[in-house]
């Protein structure tokens, strides 16, 4: 797709993410007309896994950590003509999830995972939300258009990026390194108030509100930037 055309698509989706009440967003919903939604399928990955990579194209991603030893993958496909081919690949201790779509108007897969709490999670999608819950390992979440939500994290490192859509993240342990960025969308970060943080924020259109303790020498670093949207960093 030409770069200009893709930019127009992202801009249209961004409008729906940021201003969902606009009447024009109804036009985008028409792309789903006549699509098929397959039943949810579930598979258990019993191999030893320390890293989970989700390569989503379109559709939401939801990852929840627990005391389990295996990875439970639930997925649901939507398509207009032919179901996508879903792949689960284990290489060493890394599980990679992805799918391939035949040429058609509608093709997406939504993922819902239950994983061992301490695994490394890298989740990315072009259009859809990413939700991370009760994870302790390093996390990376990226979406071109969609909201990123994280709750109950004790991860030492986290990278959260959304081109069009906000970020809301709550940590129950002070992260060593937290980076959050959006092109369009507000950022809200809640971190333990018992720690101090080395903080760097930047926004072109919007304000930054910081109510946690700051220290230039703190081992806990937070970087947050938004081209269009406010930034809030407060005690959890």
Question: Do 222 and 191 meet the contact criterion of CB atoms below 8 Å apart?
Answer: yes
**What is the residue-level pLDDT of the chain in tens, covering all 236 positions?**
343 333 333 344 444 444 443 333 333 343 445 689 999 999 999 999 999 999 999 999 999 999 999 999 999 999 999 999 999 999 999 999 999 998 889 999 999 999 999 999 999 999 999 999 999 999 999 999 999 999 999 999 999 999 999 999 999 999 999 999 999 999 999 999 999 999 999 999 999 999 999 999 999 999 999 999 999 999 99
- Separation CA 13–CA 97 (nearest Å): 25
For 89, left (φ over 0), alpha (ψ -120 to 50), or beta? Answer: beta
- Separation CA 112–CA 107 (nearest Å): 17
Question: Do 129 and 60 meet the contact criterion of CB atoms below 8 Å apart?
Answer: yes
Which tokens is 232 given?
């809030």
pLDDT value at position 1?
39
pLDDT value at position 85?
95
Please choose, from the candidates 33, 4, 14, 3, the residue with its C-alpha nearest in 3D space to the C-alpha of residue 144: 14
pLDDT value at position 129?
97
pLDDT value at position 66?
96
Spatial strand order of the sheet with 157-164 comes to 85-91, 94-100, 51-55, 120-127, 139-145, 157-164, 177-184, 221-228, 196-205, 213-214
């Amino acid at each position: 797709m030409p770069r200009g055309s893709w930019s127009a698509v992202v801009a249209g989706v961004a409008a729906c993410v940021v201003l969902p009440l606009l009447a024009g967003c109804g036009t985008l919903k028409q792309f789903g007309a006549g699509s098929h939604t397959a039943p949810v399928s579930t598979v258990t990955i019993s191999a030893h896994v320390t890293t989970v990579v989700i390569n989503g194209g379109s559709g939401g991603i939801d990852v929840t950590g627990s005391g389990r030893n295996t990875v439970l993958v639930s997925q649901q496909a939507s398509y207009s003509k032919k179901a996508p081919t879903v792949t689960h690949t284990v290489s060493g201790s890394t599980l990679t999830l992805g799918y391939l779509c035949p040429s058609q108007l509608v093709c997406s897969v939504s993922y819902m995972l239950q994983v061992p709490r301490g695994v490394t999670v890298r989740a990315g999608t072009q259009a859809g939300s990413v939700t991370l819950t009760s994870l302790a390992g390093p996390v990376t979440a990226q979406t071109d258009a969609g909201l990123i939500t994280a709750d109950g994290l004790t991860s030492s490192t986290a990278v959260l990026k959304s081109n069009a859509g906000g970020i809301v993240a709550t940590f129950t342990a002070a992260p060593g390194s937290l980076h959050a960025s959006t092109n369009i969308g507000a950022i809200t970060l809640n971190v333990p108030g018992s720690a101090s943080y080395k903080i760097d924020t930047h926004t072109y259109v919007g304000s930054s509100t910081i109510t946690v303790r700051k220290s230039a020498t703190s081992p806990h670093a937070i970087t947050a930037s938004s081209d269009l949207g406010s930034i809030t960093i407060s005690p959890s």
